[in-house]
Structure formats: structure tokens, C-alpha cells
Amino acid sequence: MATAATERQTPLSTQEFEQAIRDKGRLYHIHHPYHRAMYEGSATREQIQGWVANRFYYQVNIPLKDAAILANCADAQVRKHWVQRILDHDGYGEDEGGIEAWLRLGEAVGLSRGELLSQEHVLPGVRFAVDAYVNFARRSHWRDAAVSSLTELFAPAIHQSRLDSWPGHYPWIGEEGYQYFRKRLSEARRDVEHGLRIALETCTTRAEQDRALNILQFKLDILWTMLDAMAMAYELQRPPYHTVTDQRVYHRGLG
Ligand SMILES: O=C(O)c1cc(C(=O)O)c2c(n1)C(=O)C(=O)c1cc(C(=O)O)[nH]c1-2
């Protein structure tokens, strides 16, 4: 008879494991009140601008995270696919890349390129959360780092929700701002197919599956925590040091 302990060790079937991964979508940042406000049309211009400026820090760090995964991966077949993610963001040939598209989104919401590039709006809480993601990829086995990207399973829905709702709610946002979200619809679907295959093929014991689900939760925590920091600053008007100064005195990264 199986005891509770041995039952815990029974691996989930591939279908059950995939379902457990997909079930994590109920904790995606699409459900964060900050995100809901943007989607529902109640976000202010300052809140949208704050989100775009802070999320830029995520955008510029994604290729560093993916380069760390490549650097830790001895499997050429994996690298051959994974390298595409860096090109998607940095650009290649005629494709201007996601970082450039995000800078255009910044301009479309009224932020200059210089404002985004200087990182002057990046809140410490956002910086720490994104840095935790990059550092996890640097120090982990590439398979664990690959699993942490699986929140992208849920990303097409969130990009689509912005394309569906923002133009109606925020007519002041220029049309050229939406290209990033359009571009990611197909890129995220392709990436996640590869990432999911890695997870399903390499996490075969219950312990490995549980670890993968915990890593995915770590990543969900990062995304949620970024929005918590933005909610403090732009909804509750309590950015860091607000009791002392209204200047953005926070550090811009230590290089
Ligand atoms: O707008 C979003 O809500 C959102 C979320 C995520 C995500 O789930 O990590 C990514 C993106 N966008 C995105 O645009 C992107 O390029 C991306 C790469 C990754 C990753 O973990 O490698 N996540 C995401």
C-alpha cells in the first residue's frame, strides 16, 4: 500500500505536469490590481508612464538573462533555439528588435528615449526583482533557468488584452506604441513551445517536477512584486523616501 510519503514521490504524468504548470496562470500578474486598472481603463497617464518606464528595465535585462542561460548550456541544440530570444530583443537584420519597439512605446506614452535609457524612473523594488531574475539565470543550471521563463505561457493573453483595451481607453497613446505587443504575440508562443518541451522532457521525477513548479512560482513572484512597487509609487503616491523628498533619489544600478 502506498504511504503518503511514497505517493508524494510518484511523478505526475506528462499531461498532469503540463496542467500543473498551466494552472499557475491563475497567479499571473494579469490579475494584479495595477494591471487590471490599466486594462479596465482606470489607470492615469502617470500610472501608464510609470509602468512603461519601469518595465523597460525588464526589457533590457531579458537578453542578459538569456545570454546567461546560453553561457551555462553545453547543449548546442538548445542554444541553437534559445539564441533567437536575444535576437528578438536586440534586433537582427531588418528587425529592429523588442528594446527599440519598447522605446517607441515610451515615446507613444509621452516619455523621451533619454528618460527610459537613463533608468531614472526605475524604482528600487522593480530593479531588485528584475536583478533577482537575471542572477537566478546566472547561477542556476540552464534547465532551471529555462523553466523560469515559462510565465511566457500566459504572456500572449496579456499582450492581446492591451491591444484590445488600451486604444479605446487611452486615445492619447500613439498607434506606433503597440508594435511591441503585436510582435510578442507570435514570439512568445514560439518560445514557450520550446521552453515547455524542455520542462516536460527533463523534469521526470516528482522532486524535479515540484522544483520546476516552485521555480515558476519564483518567477510569478518577481512579476507580481514589480507591480507592487509600481502600485506603491503611482497609485498610493508612496514612492521610496516620499516622507523625506519628492525627488527620485534612488540609485540607477551599480553597474
Ligand atoms: O508584458 C508582459 O506581461 C510580459 C510578461 C513576460 C513574462 O511573463 O515573463 C514577458 C514579457 N512580457 C515579454 O514581453 C518578454 O519578452 C518576456 C521574456 C520573458 C522571459 O522570461 O524570458 N518573459 C517575458
pLDDT tens string 82-138? 999 999 999 999 999 999 999 999 999 999 999 999 999 999 999 999 999 999 999
Q: What is the pTM of this model?
A: 0.95
Q: Quick one: pLDDT band at residue 1, thresholds 50, 70, 90? A: very low
Ligand 1 neighbours (beta carbon < 6 A) = 62, 149, 151-152, 155, 158, 184, 223
Q: Which of 36, 62, 100 to mutate to test the pocket of ligand 1 (most atoms within 8 A of CB)?
A: 62
What value does the mean pLDDT take over residues 187-208?
A: 94
Q: Taking 90 as the threshold, does the pLDDT of residue 6 lie above it?
A: no
Contact 69, 82 (CB under 8 A): yes
108 Cβ neighbours under 8 A, 6+ residues apart: 173, 174, 175, 176, 177, 178
Contact 119, 57 (CB under 8 A): yes
pLDDT tens string 102-115? 999 999 999 999 99
Say how many Å lie between the CA of residue 243 and the centre of ligand 1.
33
Q: Taking 60 as the threshold, does the pLDDT of residue 4 lie above it?
A: no
Show the cell assigned to 112. 523621451
Nearest CA to ligand 1 atom 5: 155
Helix (H) or strand (E) holding 97: none
Q: Which of 152, 158, 198 to mutate to test the pocket of ligand 1 (most atoms within 8 A of CB)?
A: 152
